[in-house]
Amino acid sequence: MRLPTAPTIEAKKIAIIVTPIVFYVFLVVNGWLGANFGRHWDEHLFVEFADDFHINGRWLPTLYLYPSFCYFLTLLAAGIFRLLHPGLADVPSLLQNMDFSMFSRGVFVCVTSLCVVWVYILALKITRRYWFAFMAGLIFCSSFEFSYHSRWAVSDLIAVQFACLSTLMLFLDMSLARRVWWSAFVAGIAAGTKYTAGIVCLNILIALATNIQPWKSAGQVKMLIRQLIPVGTLFGLAFFITTPGCVFHMKSFFRDLLMQKSIYAGGHLGYTVNPGWEHFSKITAYIAQTLFSPLPAASIIIGAFCLTGTWFACLKREWNIFGLFLVMCIYIAYVSFFKVMIVRNLLYVLPYFVVLAAYGLFSLHEFAKNKRGVLAVDALIFCLLVFSLNAVVAASWSVHKMDAIDMKQDLARFLDKRGKNNYVLSRGVRQLAGPGNEHVAQSGDHVVFLKSEIQDEHYPANRFGLYQTIAGPRDVNFNYYPTWSGKDRIVIMKLEDVNPEMLEDLGM
């Protein structure tokens, strides 16, 4: 009997189906591992609504800083949690219940992690090759930024997931009408999760324009208008279903919507930046150095492949693919005009840029003459992603084992390795270091301090490499969230970067 020399068609089909499931399970398990991080700033807004429903039976939220999908998702989580814990039937509030926080975060992780499935399928539809879809999923899982944001029981990554699903609909094997109608409906749900997710409607316009080509004749223009009517209707219907308060609480809805806009237009703690070029440059630095991987080199390489994919899409006149980049650039430009930079608002770009990076790698395979060189590039990227995945898992594990962290021991190990005289130790760190360190290192080019020693309003943010955390959990990117309210940690800064307010807090 002849032995098979290549994988059978059935084996390929199984691999295509199983791979996104494996990616999804990885993200869910990794998210659960890091879910017990403490308190998040905004989670209470959603839990208070669930408590209000339990106490007063009020169906609609009364706050619209966020649209309402995640209020209802939290309400669903609260209902399931109470069913699983009958003893809580008469407990009016879950706000201070950490078990519920963990459960709710688990529900949110399960929903947000679906994004990797949509990324995988979208890359598969665009490239028609399993390897590049696999690489897209691997790149997505390698993002530490997605990993820790996914654990937050708030709107950000739920909206990202729906935005990506909306775009995926445009690439499925259906008629144009069905594709844009489904995409519009899911886009309405995305906007009903977070207002800014409505930006993905531009992908629908690009799909309609490239297929109908209204510039050719007046008849094509009429056809475009006929398609836009159901698209707008379905988008509005989905938004109303997720956020009925836009009609029933119209005054409160617009008041809170304007309040949200005023916050980003007016500045917020150390997250305040100059609108325009400074804000745009900081966004670009974040995307290039941090977004795709905890390893800056890997992130930069993936970003380069994203640009490569965009370039080839333009050369080949694949306008629907090029539109993935164009729409996100429009969104980045829009965000750049505000005075507040909080990076959770930038995560919409991640799935699109990951798919474009996979498309860039695919195009390199298509056009490169040196096939061995291309395989070497594949191997390099794969190795970098493996190291990135290891760092992502290690960070979640540090949260899971948070109680076992010994900051005093970690500090001693760091100082023994680097030398005490190279660092200025704050009062809190000297006390933590123990006897014999009360007067250590009164001069040096770096300062070592406890996060809790500095007031939140004095922390600058949004600068790559500004802080280095040497002890404590790795539950967040401290360079971009220095006001994080999680467990205390030991932080290092260059002395030249420490502002006068921070020095005053440290008593220096």
3-state secondary structure 235-282: HHHHHHHHCCHHHHCHHHHHHHHHHHHHHHHHCCHHHECCCCHHHHHH
| DSSP assignment string, 94-122 | -TT-HHHHHHHHHHHHHHHTHHHHHHHHH
Q: In what order do the strands lie in the sheet with 468-471?
A: 423-425, 446-450, 490-494, 468-471
Question: 106 and 27 in contact (C-beta within 8 Å)?
Answer: no
Query: Does residue 419 share a domain with residue 386?
Result: no
Within a domain: 54: no
Asked, for residue 286, whether it belongs to a domain, the answer is yes
Q: Which domain holds residue 320?
A: 9-34+109-397
Does 77 reside within a domain? no
Reference 495, options 453, 451, 449; nearest CA is: 449
The residue among 397, 415, 430 that closes a domain is: 397
C-alpha 182: how far from its chain's center? 24
- Output b/e per residue, 371-383; b: 16+ Cβ within 10 A: eeebeebbeebee
**Co-location of 333 and 453 in the same domain:** no
Same domain (yes/no): 360, 443:
no
235 and 349 together in one domain: yes
Count the domains in the chain. Answer: 2
Are the C-beta atoms of residues 428 and 453 closer than 8 Å to each other? yes
pLDDT by 10s per residue, the chain, length 508? 454 555 577 888 899 999 999 999 999 999 999 999 988 989 999 999 999 999 999 999 989 999 999 999 999 999 999 999 888 877 889 998 999 999 999 999 999 999 999 999 999 999 999 999 999 999 999 999 999 999 999 999 999 999 999 999 999 999 999 999 999 999 999 999 999 999 999 999 999 999 988 888 888 889 999 999 999 999 999 999 999 999 999 999 999 999 988 889 888 888 999 999 999 999 999 999 999 999 999 999 999 999 999 999 999 999 999 999 999 999 999 999 999 999 999 999 999 999 999 999 999 998 887 888 889 999 999 999 999 999 999 999 999 988 888 888 888 888 887 766 678 888 888 888 776 665 555 566 889 999 999 999 999 999 999 999 988 899 999 999 999 988 899 999 998 889 899 888 887 7
Report the predicted TM-score, pTM, of the whole model to 2 decimal places. Answer: 0.93
